[in-house]
Structure 1
Amino acid sequence: MNHPDSIRINKAISDSGYCSRRQADTLIEAGHVTINGEVVTLGDRAMPGDDIRVKGESIQKKENLVYIALNKPVGITCTTDRRIPGNVVDFINHKERIFHVGRLDKPSEGLLLMTNDGDIVNKILRAGNKHEKEYVVRVNRPITRDFIKRMSNGVPILDTVTKKCEVEQLSRFVFRIVLVQGLNRQIRRMCEYLDYQVVSLKRTRIMNIQLGNLKTGEWRDLTKEELSGLQNAVASSTNIPQAEREKSTGGKRRKRK
């Protein structure tokens, strides 16, 4: 039985602000994480006071939490791997270690949230939480009523059918779409299935956070009102996937030496 004060090691890492839980899992699988000098595996748990290190670097829970809205330009890559030219971390060059919430394709632009609050990242990313993301998309040929109807009702891509969503035509070549999913290149794949090509794609809203008049390439801290609304929206959201919850009773705790 797990000790009531223990938590899964990936959660401990994300809570520290080092990276998201998914990124923590990758680091654990690569053997880069230790507790009290022992290399851990997925499912291991940590106790308060344990010495947790990633690549030899001790992690501590962040007291200075950062929440940023960036208007990502085309050509910037959503990755924390600083070996990749044009990565978003170097682009912002913030003094805190921050990471992106979700992704925007390199050819896409618009609103991208960045933070060092791993807990809120995991809650937002949970598909079951149905958090809205809004986009304005330009395509290569005139939009028809049939296109809007089929985009709204769901399109078969990636061995599934996309969830019903809100789609509105804004002009002859431009439409607005609100998604609650985050499938890989979802909008582009949906358009391609219907024989359209995306010319430009901009994300204008994530939940209660609006891009507004933030200029391309610029970023700002979230306002108190925005952060409060964001936290309220995810307050009842689980940040642990169902499969992980089911396995949690089997997670083992590293013994202290």
Structure 2
Amino acid sequence: MAALPRIACFHGGGSSASIFATQCQTLQSQLCSTFEFVFFDAPFERDAGPGVLPYFSYEKFGPYRTWFSKTEAGQEVPDGRMEAGKEGEEGGIERVLRLIGEEGEGGEWVGCMGFSQGTRVVGGLLLHQQKRREMGFPVREGEVEFKFGVLCMGSFAPMVSDLTGPAMSLSGTPDLISIPTLHLHGTKDVNYANGKKQLAAYYDPKTSRLIEINYHHAMPWFKADLMKLVDGIESIYRDTQEIL
């Protein structure tokens, strides 16, 4: 039996891979014959994020993690390092790609999915991949080539890499991500307005799709909302296969 295509999954800030996997149980059950979902932990520890406690206790689901560190002055380090641009330290996007590679043999990595802060990792991965192709870098053996991204309840800018950071800062406005993306927004989400800003600022409207549900800052649980996301993921994957 052939291995299922894989989707790399990235949790929100103050969460963990095990929490995100639990939040996605119903989604996985609907797509278990189509995809394998693989969940990754962020590198830095922090306090619990919004909505994590009391259900996801530290004893069972900790430590809680974040994809971004902060300076002593409280400023976020945008490239996922402990210190921005620190020589010899692995960047956030490079770290994630290494972790994906360390998963070893299995199905093709076709997509990446993030919730909240994790959507910034998804955006960073897609932009990094897109810039490599635009700059003519050859595809290395075993290199991941994502076909699509799924961004759930997201906000703010993609994580930058050593490749994309300078290009974004020099132009003043980031290059739009044109790899197909599916965006899930909750109209009751505290990040609803910021999610719309994220979509407009960083994603090509010709290749991005939006689903809005009457929901708060969480993965959809009600079946009607869940099936909209299921159908959206199946549709965007099917369309990328037709392009090949």
TM > 0.5 fold call: no
Structure with the largest fraction of strand: 1
- Greater relative contact order (Cα 8 A, min sep 6): structure 1 or 2? 1
Structure with the largest fraction of helix: 2
